[in-house]
Copies of this chain bind each other. A is one copy, B any other.
Amino acid sequence: MKYSEFLKLIPDSKIDICRAAFLEHKDKIQIKKEAVVIKNLEKIFDATLKIGVSKGFQAMTMRDLSAGSGLSMGALYSYFSSKDEILSVYLGQGRKIVKQVLEAFLVKENDPVAKLETVIQIHLFLTEKMHQWFYFSYMEAKNLNPEEMEKSIQSELYTEKLVSDILIEGYKKNIFKDGDHVLGASVIKAMLQDWYLKRGKYARRKIGVDHYAQFIMAFVSAFYLV
């Protein structure tokens, strides 16, 4: 699959995140009109992402966020009771989207090689589409409260397990070589993450996501295909 095809198959993640955040936090949000909330959550999350990526979430002040989102300080606090809550909600909703999309594409495949290619491609395509969110999520995870931090780690391990399960299945079917499949999944994950962690570098070198996906698949295949 190409990235351009992937884009046509999935809905707009930005609005999904806002709607899901509204539904899940209805009781905590003081404003009641859905349309108003979603419109403003989008402004808040957009500004959080933009400022957070450029200077870090800790360094972003509520005044920065107020200026960036176009809402007053008072208005911000009628949507979230604290600065940290914005981070927790935003990261939590993003994680859900990632899980949903990965599973939706993986369930279509049966062959381990196709599954491996799919998980590599879809992970890269997702991080391409939501690259700022992923970067932000990675960099700010350590500033979460213990409970949310745990969820973040579990989310990481979940995608890693998707990969290791595929490697193990392929080994059992005599398509992949034997080896430490958990460690293998770990380094594959590292290569996938590099795509959004070093996005500027790859952009400067004019390397696109389709090319990167193909390269990673070749690299991994050389080691795993019998």
Mark A residues whose CB is within 8 Å of B. Answer: 55-56, 58-59, 139, 142-143, 180, 182-184, 186-187, 189-191, 193-194, 197-198, 201-202, 205, 207, 212, 215-216, 218-219, 222-223
The count of identical subunits is: 2
Contacts of A219 in B (CB 8 A): 184, 187, 223
- Of all chain B residues, the one with the shortest Cβ separation from A182 is B205
| A194 CB contact (under 8 Å) in B58, B184, B186 | B186
- Of all chain B residues, the one with the shortest Cβ separation from A219 is B223
| A222 CB contact (under 8 Å) in B139, B183, B193, B223 | B223
Indicate if the CB atoms of B182 and A187 lie closer than 8 Å: no
Main secondary structure of the interface of A (DSSP, over half): helix
Minimum distance in angstroms from A189 CB to a CB of chain B: 8
Contacts of A218 in B (CB 8 A): 223
Contacts of A207 in B (CB 8 A): 183
Q: A56-B142, A58-B56, A143-B56 are in contact. Are A198 and B186 (CB under 8 A)?
A: yes
Contacts of A202 in B (CB 8 A): 186
A142 to B60, CA, bound (A): 13
| A191 CB contact (under 8 Å) in B139, B143, B190, B222 | B190
Contacts of A59 in B (CB 8 A): 58, 143
Indicate if the CB atoms of A215 and B190 lie closer than 8 Å: no
8 smallest CB-CB distances across A and B, nearest first, come from A190-B194, A222-B223, A58-B58, A222-B222, A187-B191, A190-B190, A219-B223, A190-B191
Indicate if the CB atoms of B194 and A215 lie closer than 8 Å: no
Minimum distance in angstroms from A171 CB to a CB of chain B: 15
A143 to B140, CA, bound (A): 13
A219 to B216, CA, bound (A): 12
Indicate if the CB atoms of A216 and B201 lie closer than 8 Å: no
Minimum distance in angstroms from A10 CB to a CB of chain B: 26
